[in-house]
Structure 1
């Protein structure tokens, strides 16, 4: 997540709730993408560090747990930059120029000079962010799947260029012997079924067999996985999209909640300011007077009821608004109560970190070291296969 400062309810319902769920199902890496922030805001870097600290406090208040996931800052793990550099040596320029967001953002951000290498190359830096950890799954919405494909293409090209060893076949046979006769035969039967008939189920069975072996090295595991598809070592696994349902959190004017639209409610915003924002939300323009009936479908307040209200509450809104049985302030009151209750928990959980910034720095430092440990292993292997393994 790019550090843009304190987060709002759109971030919580759209991203953070999902992160909290995923951290108990997978080994997760969540990082503040401060280098990415510079791709479009390189002229104003003064607040990046402060925004990063504020953003991570909001993650912690939302329930992201440094004991369950790795939380770190991108620029504190220089292996991201080195892998980005090495991958740039093999990435065709045309691949970057055809990334859908490249021209789209240039159009949307015409007030900024984005004719920079950093902006052109940021999708490759995103790829390095993923590949440095040999990530198998990346949580994305459907609109981001095409973006992830660049990372997959780069990993595929890297493995094609460098995932070959002079004695690859000999090493594969040696690795098979470590499996034992029955397991090795099962592997070979499924490998042939896939390579001769394209049997995807056989490929999945063989992959699961290899990944479940605890008595072989990481290198042997990668050789056997690469051999299944007729290639070499899989140095950088191709990450798969983990499609996630992304909740669209409506803003105060009915559009998607965004700070740039001025329609957001901050996770730690002052209670009086929150109440004032909700009470003054625009409503159905047809309800000029209290006695005028309205249509909830034309009212931004109804969008928030769909997030915070149960079926009975929503039925009350529909009936009361259409019959003019309730006024707009009546309709807003349960929303004010629900949002205030949710935000009071955020403020309570954030308070220890606000009172002790050193605690946040300790969490970041610990996460950065965990991330570097994993990324160093990947970079050691990448350097070796690229001929940079000097002794």
Structure 2
């Protein structure tokens, strides 16, 4: 596969994922489908964030290294095309770490502590004061990623807006030091899809908590996950009227079933009574099996040719390294460090 995008587009998009596990349906509906549609419209780079994956997994680095190719296979299996999208590996771009160091000198501890996204993640992971420094400074690293590619459009959810705000603060500080525009400010491309809940309906969907359906899930895994899904606890008999609000099965049907009118009919029937939980779970399972089967088959093919996946990463990283080094040269010059 040719890695270099065949033509340049008007806007530059940067997106990516931490390589801490295979991607799941939350990623698929929230970002992967969007990336497939965006790649023919914008210049798009996808960063496999292995270094950022280590910020809370340094005690278990194999969790990151063993999932790098899994994530690349996930990208390709859903239709991300390396001839249109640059797929690169964060650890192979030394400019990102150097930019992070320069930017760190422009951001105070107090500013990082005020970042609501960081505060939320610290709480959810139970770090308290034992938070790894790399995780705490994640917003600075993300700013380095975004500015290194002069990205102007970043696909994010509402919870990531504070991260972009902090990136733009850094951009303005750097440009002010330079006395001219060196770096580009970015703006969010908000997802139109609500965050997909976990299959247990209790927690945020997570690669590690066993409450997600991976896009490469087997038929048995899909079936098991759907059967265990939360519905309406008050819907004890088939004839009882059921609630669709908070009913995870209907949330997933809304997200994935191709026939909106059919799903609306199921909702009406369920609310009136006479439609069992087993029936709607069977409909959802059939929907997910049909949707994920070709993705799973393609993913298996890609993982059986790891040399191809590595080559795609190598070519994309080479192109990304060239682009990021140009930005690094400009930023380094602001601090008077381009001595030779």
* TM-score normalized with structure 2 length: 0.87
Helix, strand or coil: the match of 2:155? strand
Pairwise CA distance, 1:296? 2.9
Q: Structure 2: where are the runs of 5+ without partners?
A: 1-16
Q: What's the C-alpha RMSD, in Å, of the aligned pairs?
A: 2.1
1:285 aligns with 2:285: no
Corresponding position of 1:102: 118
| Counterpart-to-counterpart distance in 1, 2:182 and 2:198 | 44
| Counterpart-to-counterpart distance in 2, 1:376 and 1:295 | 55
Corresponding position of 2:64: 48
Corresponding position of 2:210: 262
Corresponding position of 2:13: none
1:28 aligns with 2:40: no
**Which string of whole-angstrom CA distances, capped at 9 and with x for unpartnered residues, describes residues 2-27 of structure 1?**
11211111110011111112211111
Q: Is the 8 A contact 2:157 2:190 kept in 1?
A: yes
- Following superposition of structure 1 onto structure 2, how do residues 114-153 of structure 1 map, counting pairs within 5 Å? 114-153=130-169
| Greater share of helix | 1
1:347 aligns with 2:296: yes
* TM-score normalized with structure 1 length: 0.76
| Counterpart-to-counterpart distance in 2, 1:118 and 1:334 | 44
Structure 1 residues 367 and 316, CA, compared in 2 at 3 Å: closer, same or farther?
same
Pairwise CA distance, 1:113? 6.1
**Which string of whole-angstrom CA distances, capped at 9 and with x for unpartnered residues, describes residues 95-154 of structure 1?**
223222333333222257644432332211111111111222222223322221111111
Pairwise CA distance, 1:41? 1.9
How many residues are aligned here?
322
Q: Is the 8 A contact 1:34 1:74 kept in 2?
A: yes
Q: Is the 8 A contact 2:200 2:211 kept in 1?
A: yes
Pairwise CA distance, 1:323? 4.2
Q: Is the 8 A contact 1:40 1:112 kept in 2?
A: no
Corresponding position of 1:301: 249
Structure 1 residues 119 and 250, CA, compared in 2 at 3 Å: closer, same or farther?
closer
Q: Structure 1: where are the runs of 5+ without partners?
A: 164-232
Between structure 1 and structure 2, the one with the greater Rg is 1
| Counterpart-to-counterpart distance in 2, 1:379 and 1:111 | 32
2:196 aligned to which of 249, 264, 274: 249
- Following superposition of structure 1 onto structure 2, how do residues 79-98 of structure 1 map, counting pairs within 5 Å? 79-98=95-114
Pairwise CA distance, 1:161? 1.3
Helix, strand or coil: the match of 1:242? strand
- Range with greater deviation from structure 2 (42-51 or 112-121): 112-121
